[in-house]
Structure 1
């Protein structure tokens, strides 16, 4: 238990340092998610980014959040979650998880943003998606199999459930520890990640306080 507290404190100090001297206001830059789950006792904190390939704001945020995520301490786990707002967004969420299962996501993630926002290929239907995959060296038979797989359907359903649980109505959005969601009033996308650092530090401080009781 003592080792867990030490590890937790180390993660807190790293995040607190990254957050710097800035403070942010609950209800403005970040909001509390109710009902609140119990304060965690483990060492890991999960940060989720909800996004859509077709969203221009998500495209602009992508290099910022990618750089930020690459510098996170080991106990902060970053995961992207594609949203399902209906229409092409649902198809793109299915596509995201199919590529993830095939091991092709890392190679094509940025290319998908580029296709939609630079090439203006919105990938609105399955035929357009299949054509993109063929043009980019994806085995179409394996892709089709993945798209109709139980594993992909389960991940899509989980993404939809997470959206409901956390009240996701716009993107990009960050959720920290299932307890806090990014708010509004950011001066920049970089500040959005600074708020995430601040909230992660807050969550780790809550856990440290509970562990010491």
Structure 2
């Protein structure tokens, strides 16, 4: 790995100043990283004065479980300037496909407020596994005002299947490589690792939103 060598004449305060300049330069470089520009921008449909922010996640992802309250707070703080859309993806995993379908079923039934955090908690705090539609239907009926039959109908509906297929296409179009990831304005993908963590990911998203709104 390359190392930075300081000139011998730099000592004391001069060396400290030189180090500060190097450090600031490195910070600036990192600020330019953390996101990629999409080769083909994706269409967005948001109100004027707001920017679409799309979270790619899975209920099966422990990092997404940790990120959910962080993103929820950020969304509330920025409600006047962003529209956050949750997009569950599968990476080809059958177990994640069940969970992605569960998200869209809850959305169709209007019960996401009751199920979204509850499903994360059931998986990551209680160790529950959701391997079938029956598992999801029984759980939703226990935490929301719906019947198992209603949940099963939603899980197997054409609308939910269409939403799931569109989510998979979007994940490919954005080039999502891991979860959670955040898309901004249909033009950028913010990667949690490249951004330096979950807070860093939202800092990068903040900057991109500001640029889109002309506030940057």
Detail structure 1 runs of 4+ shifted over 4 Å in the superposition: none
SS in structure 2 opposite 1:47? strand
Aligned length: 184
68-77 or 128-137, which moves further after superposition? 128-137
1:43 deviates by: 3.3
Matching residue within 88, 96, 101 for 2:103: 96
TM-score normalised per structure 2: 0.77
1:73 deviates by: 4.1
Contact 1:83-1:159 at 8 Å conserved across structures: yes
SS in structure 2 opposite 1:119? coil
Confirm whether residue 120 of structure 1 aligns to residue 127 of structure 2.
Answer: yes
Confirm whether residue 175 of structure 1 aligns to residue 214 of structure 2.
Answer: no
SS in structure 1 opposite 2:59? coil
What does 1:48-67 align with in structure 2 at a 5 Å threshold? Answer: 48-67=54-73
Does the C-alpha gap of structure 1 residues 185 and 98 become closer, same or farther in structure 2, counting only changes over 3 Å? same
Matching residue within 47, 72, 97 for 2:53: 47
Contact 2:133-2:155 at 8 Å conserved across structures: no
CA-based RMSD = 2.5
Match of 2:85? 79
Choose 1 or 2 for highest CA Rg.
Answer: 2
Per-residue CA deviations over 1:81-139 (Å, capped at 9, x if unaligned) read 11122211111111111111111111111110001001111212233223323433431
Match of 2:18? none
Segments of 5+ residues of structure 2 without an aligned counterpart are 1-26
SS in structure 1 opposite 2:31? coil
Match of 1:191? 200
TM-score normalised per structure 1: 0.78
Contact 1:47-1:76 at 8 Å conserved across structures: yes
Determine the C-alpha separation between the residues in 2 that align with 1:136 and 1:203: 39
Match of 2:14? none
Match of 2:143? 136
Confirm whether residue 204 of structure 1 aligns to residue 175 of structure 2.
Answer: no
Per-residue CA deviations over 1:114-169 (Å, capped at 9, x if unaligned) read 01001111212233223323433431111111111121112111111111111112
Confirm whether residue 147 of structure 1 aligns to residue 155 of structure 2.
Answer: yes
Contact 1:47-1:78 at 8 Å conserved across structures: yes
SS in structure 2 opposite 1:143? helix
SS in structure 1 opposite 2:65? helix
1 or 2 for the larger relative contact order (CA 8 Å, sep ≥6)? 1
